[in-house]
Amino acid sequence: MIVALAAALLVWALGARGQPVQMWNPAEFHIGNLWTTFYSSELPALDILLFAVTAAVVLVLLVVIGERIVTLRYRRTPVQSSGRPLAPKGIMDRTRGVHAGPVTISVLIPAHNEERSLPETLKALDQQHFAPSRVIVVADNCTDRTVEVARQHGVEVFESRDNIHKKGGALNQALSALLPELGDNDCVMVMDADSQIGDHFLATARDRFTQDRALSAVGGLFHGEEGHGLLGQFQRNEYTRYQREISRRNGRVFVLTGAASVFRASALREVAASRGTVLPGRRGDVYDTAALTEDNELTIALKTLGALTTSPEPCTVVTELMPTWKMLWAQRLRWQRGALENLGAYGVTPQTMRYWAQQIGIGYGVIALFSYFALMLIMLVSMDTWVWFPFWMLLGALFAVERVVTAWQGGWRARIVAALVIPELVYDAFLDLAFLKGVADIAFARRAEWKHVEHAATSKETSS
């Protein structure tokens, strides 16, 4: 509310000191005798342009500088005075001269009725250049052949008991049995049963943990699976842009994806010990079972404790896409509401400032996009002719170029969809509606639900 009032006052101040707005006086443009149209070469007021550019630059600088300050603070502050037991300097001091042995990786695969997708996931693990020491399928309330399929592929099975807390609850049970057995250089990968990691994922994670003993987690960079038509391409373009952004940030990750991430066992133990005091949740649990988005919440928990995380480019993972608009709506509503609830649980801290800025940016994007659509509609119904504005057309062309460049790595289909601009704007509007629905649900205290995606049979299904 304060931000909205400040913006309104600023707009009023700019308008009050300027000249009254004049209607444009468009000129005619002819192409032979075939087409006549109108255009206006008028530009926005210079002071408004300067303000917009300055505001954008200042906001970007605030976010970048804030992130750098937090990162440097983690690296330089001793654990005794910081209250952050996973701060890199504290870990380096604590482990200096201690030989914890070679890095190992145990894999946990939470699975609820995943008999169709599980074989491909296990096949990808078999192809790793660095083999996991253990692979454990965490079967949670399965009513299909998930347990049988896992055992036929020669991996361990942990079956949850009386679990009512979905994925997070099942993982908490498995981790409570596994973590006490692991040392400081033993790591745990948690990955979805419908995801396939790249061949170099585990080897890259091992190397990163070996080279930097202060590193607490290595996240995956997710790609969308093939198929699902235009809706699938929208999602793949979105993920491609996310990968590009993380690459430009040198691996500084926003969220340690639940599709596939590797954690140092000591970091997970520290999270479990801090629940109920420094962190929300029940003491002894790695995952907060009250969180809708357990991967986002665990990321914030680790960063709150000072953890150093990264997502290297070779750590790729192919994850499922939502095949229908209805399923996409349910997924994104859970993501958005979960992110907002996690921020509400942690409050405003140096570690959550980046996430608050991200949510504010999404909120601004919602207002801007729907305002754009509304103004275009008003223009269409109130004018008897179309008027072209070269200045705004140039900005639109630059926007189209940006969309193509950022989706370039996705291939020719991604580039065509990006170049059309309008279809992706419609997709963005759909995601913005999910954001608004999430905000409304929180405001009106509506109950949230964790929905599991049932997988249809595919040609990849492996018979045993």
User: What pLDDT is stored for residue 18 in this prediction?
Assistant: 53
Question: What span, in angstroms and rounded, lies between the C-alpha atoms of 435 and 429?
Answer: 10
Cβ contacts of 101 within 8 Å, gap of 6 or more: 183, 185
User: What pLDDT is stored for residue 151 in this prediction?
Assistant: 95
pLDDT tens sequence across 203-233: 999 999 999 999 999 999 989 999 999 999 9
Q: Is the pLDDT of residue 463 over 50?
A: no
Length of the chain: 464
Q: Is the pLDDT of residue 55 over 90?
A: no
Closest listed residue to residue 147, CA positions, set 178, 170, 180, 175:
170
Phi, psi values for residue 229, rounded to 5°: 60, -145
- CB neighbours of residue 171 within 10 Å: 28
User: What pLDDT is stored for residue 95 in this prediction?
Assistant: 84
pLDDT tens sequence across 155-187: 999 999 999 999 999 999 999 999 999 998 999
- CB neighbours of residue 391 within 10 Å: 13
User: What pLDDT is stored for residue 52 in this prediction?
Assistant: 77
- 69 compared with 4, residue with greater pLDDT: 69
User: What pLDDT is stored for residue 24 in this prediction?
Assistant: 63
Lowest mean pLDDT among 38-42, 70-74, 174-178, 291-295: 70-74
- 463 compared with 23, residue with greater pLDDT: 23
Q: What is the mean pLDDT of residues 367-374?
A: 86
Q: How confident is the model at residue 45 (pLDDT cuts 50, 70, 90)?
A: confident
Mean pLDDT of the chain: 85
Phi, psi values for residue 171, rounded to 5°: -65, -35
User: What pLDDT is stored for residue 376 in this prediction?
Assistant: 82
Range among 34-38, 86-90, 155-159, 355-359 rated most confident? 155-159
Domains of the chain by residue range: 87-346, 358-443
User: What pLDDT is stored for residue 79 in this prediction?
Assistant: 44
Q: How confident is the model at residue 462 (pLDDT cuts 50, 70, 90)?
A: very low
Beta strand 35-39 with 27-31 is: antiparallel
What is residue 195's three-state secondary structure? Answer: coil
- 334 compared with 7, residue with greater pLDDT: 334
User: What pLDDT is stored for residue 365 in this prediction?
Assistant: 85
Q: How confident is the model at residue 101 (pLDDT cuts 50, 70, 90)?
A: confident
- Maximum separation of any 2 CA atoms in the chain, in Å: 85
User: What pLDDT is stored for residue 459 in this prediction?
Assistant: 37
Question: What span, in angstroms and rounded, lies between the C-alpha atoms of 255 and 34?
Answer: 55
- 284 compared with 80, residue with greater pLDDT: 284
- 345 compared with 388, residue with greater pLDDT: 345
Q: Is the pLDDT of residue 307 over 50?
A: yes
- 383 compared with 75, residue with greater pLDDT: 383
User: What pLDDT is stored for residue 453 in this prediction?
Assistant: 55
- 328 compared with 54, residue with greater pLDDT: 328
What's the CATH number of domain 87-346, 3.40.50.1970, 3.90.550.10, 3.40.50.2000, 3.40.50.800?
3.90.550.10
Share of the chain above pLDDT 70, in %: 86
Q: What is the mean pLDDT of residues 60-76?
A: 63
Q: What is the mean pLDDT of residues 412-436?
A: 93
